Amino acid sequence: MDNHSADMVEFGPRTHLLVTGGAGFVGSALVDLLLARNCSVTVIDDLSNGSLHNLPASDPRLTIRTFRVGDPAYSAAVHDEVRQADAVFHLASPIGVQLAHKERFAVTSGILESGCAIVEACRLHQRPLLYTSSSEVYGSGRDRPITESDPVMTDLRPRWGYAAAKAAVEHLVAGLFFDFGIPTWIVRPFNMAGPRQRPVTGLVLPVFVNAALRGEPLVVHDDGEQRRAFLHVADAAEGLLLIIQCRSLRGRPVNLGGSEAVQIGNLAKMVVEAAKSGAPIVTKPSTAVYGERFAVTYDRVPDTSLLTTMTGWRPLRSTNQTITDSIEHMRTQRVMA
Ligand SMILES: NC(=O)c1ccc[n+]([C@@H]2O[C@H](COP(=O)([O-])OP(=O)(O)OC[C@H]3O[C@@H](n4cnc5c(N)ncnc54)[C@H](O)[C@@H]3O)[C@@H](O)[C@H]2O)c1
């Protein structure tokens, strides 16, 4: 990674970072990493899907504020926190295809309201901003790895409200850079997985792990041949930190995702085997789960060569390790519950 260092901004004990959504799955892994690098951190999270148990609350370098970004009642508080930060990671967002499908209005408006609030505060106080968009902006998928220059695609089916809102905020974030000269980064994560991801989100890996541990059926949608690449959350956090440190990635969309493509039907088998579970694997049409207006996605695998070329980042943990760590975490949670 040495030959990239001239292009990288140093973070250290004097760096104070704001992480919205920091009590969530990815946000809390990022907070762990930032604290390990001796930075100080403020988290804003409304706990709609996050938990204070994900955070080392007694660490004196960590401040936790629990309110909704985008709620006008907390606009002054958002401005205060942005002003005090050296840079902002905006991760707060409603998530999951399941929620996007069922609550299109709340999901779309939640992304837009929080995005507008953070972008406006960063514009006013001239603070660098990293925004986590989503690979959902690429639409239904491709039969080859997806690059950042692939088109952003949405239509009016309920699922794509999430993608359209993420894409709209991408434009605001790009505008901060191109119109106002404020450093910004647009990250398009693909499937991230690992400890602290919750099955209630409907995301496939925690849902499979939860079912396997309970001995309940793992429900594979459609033919199970759709491919994804799962990125361990610790590798995702490393990627986010390297991206915000990289000058050359400012103003550009950057894919963040795993390197091993796996068919969902095979993922179910890997989970059952790793959990040593006797749970059955069954298939179901996705339209039977979500209804006729569901937008099916096929292969969605990232090309992450831009990120690797610019920063030297590579995922260090395999899909098997991601599965094992997810199982381990969920087992511990169940024992403690
Ligand atoms: N997990 C994935 O595979 C994945 C894939 C693509 C993109 N992303 C994006 O990455 C980011 C992090 O996702 P995650 O998987 O950690 O989700 P998460 O739900 O675990 O984390 C998001 C956090 O934001 C909080 N939150 C939501 N809206 C808020 C608001 N208005 N104000 C304050 N807090 C709010 C939630 O309570 C939660 O703790 C999100 O922006 C998500 O859209 C995630």
Residues in the ligand 1 pocket, defined by CB under 6 Å: 20-21, 23-27, 44-50, 68-70, 91-95, 110, 114, 132, 134-135, 189, 191-192
pLDDT for 135 equals 96
Distance 265 CA to ligand 1 centre (A): 26
Give distance in angstroms: CA of 100 to centre of ligand 1. Answer: 13
Q: How far is the C-alpha of 307 from the C-alpha of 202, rounded, in Å? A: 28
pLDDT for 142 beyond 90? no
Nearest-atom index, ligand 1, CA of 67? 33
**Do the Cβ atoms of 284 and 202 come closer than 8 Å?**
no
pLDDT of residue 1: 46
Separation CA 214–CA 217 (nearest Å): 9
Alpha-carbon span 315 to 233, nearest angstrom? 10
List for the chain the helix, strand, coil content (%; round to 5).
Answer: 45, 15, 35
Q: Is residue 218 part of a domain?
A: no
- Whether 221 maps to a domain, the answer reads no
Q: What is the pLDDT of residues 56-109, one digit of tens each?
A: 999 999 999 999 999 999 999 999 999 999 999 999 999 988 898 889 999 999
In order of 324, 329, 330, 331, 333, the CA distances from 336 in angstroms are 18, 11, 10, 9, 5
- Whether 276 is covered by a domain: the verdict is no
Q: How far is the CA of 24 from the centre of ligand 1 (A)?
A: 6
**Predicted pLDDT of residue 292:** 80
* Structural domain harbouring 162: 2-197+231-257+300-316
CATH code: domain of residue 141: 3.40.50.720
d(CA 92, CA 106): 14
**Among 18, 19, 26, 65, which is best to mutate for testing ligand 1, by the most ligand atoms less than 8 A from CB?**
26
In-domain check, residue 274: no
Q: Whose CA is nearest to atom 7 of ligand 1?
A: 134
Does residue 235 carry a pLDDT above 90? yes
Q: Is residue 20 part of a domain?
A: yes
Place of tokens 């969920």: 330
Distance from the CA of 276 to the center of ligand 1, in angstroms?
A: 31
| Tens digits of residue pLDDT in 170-229 | 999 999 999 999 999 999 999 999 999 999 999 999 999 999 999 999 999 999 999 999
Tell me how far apart the alpha carbons of residues 136 and 286 are, in angstroms, rounded to a whole number. 17
Distance 96 CA to ligand 1 centre (A): 9
Query: Residue 179 is which amino acid?
Result: D
Gap between the Cα atoms of 20 and 69, Å rounded: 8
pLDDT tens digits for range 256-301: 999 999 999 999 999 999 999 999 999 999 988 888 888 888 899 9
Counted domains in the chain? 1
Which atom of ligand 1 is the closest one to the Cα of 69? 32
Bridge partners, residue 43, by sequence:
19, 64
Report the alpha-carbon distance of residue 300 to residue 144 in Å, rounded: 8
Pocket test of ligand 1: the residue of 32, 74, 95 to mutate, having most ligand atoms within 8 Å of its CB, is 95
Residue 289 is assigned to a structural domain of this protein: no
Are the beta carbons of 265 and 323 closer than 8 angstroms? no
Beta bridge partners of 44: 20, 65
Ligand 1 centroid to Cα of residue 316, in Å, is 23
Residue nearest atom 18 of ligand 1, based on CA coordinates = 24
Mean per-residue pLDDT of the chain: 95
| Cα(178)–Cα(169) distance, integer angstroms | 14
97-101, 121-125, 251-255, 272-276: range with lowest mean pLDDT: 97-101
The answer to whether 107 touches 99, Cβ cutoff 8 Å, is yes
Cα–ligand 1 centroid distance for 50 (angstroms): 8
The whole-angstrom separation of Cα 157 and Cα 136 is 13
- By C-alpha distance, which of 18, 13, 254, 238 is closest to 128? 18
Mean pLDDT calculated for residue range 101-120: 96
Residue 42 is assigned to a structural domain of this protein: yes
206 domain-assigned: no
Q: Whose CA is nearest to atom 28 of ligand 1?
A: 93
Q: Are strands 261-263 and 227-229 parallel, antiparallel or unpaired?
A: antiparallel
Nearest to 294 by CA among 193, 211, 221: 221
Ligand 1 atom closest to Cα of 23? 39
Instruction: Determine the pLDDT at residue 290.
Output: 85
**How far apart, in whole angstroms, are the C-alpha atoms of residue 42 and residue 52?**
13
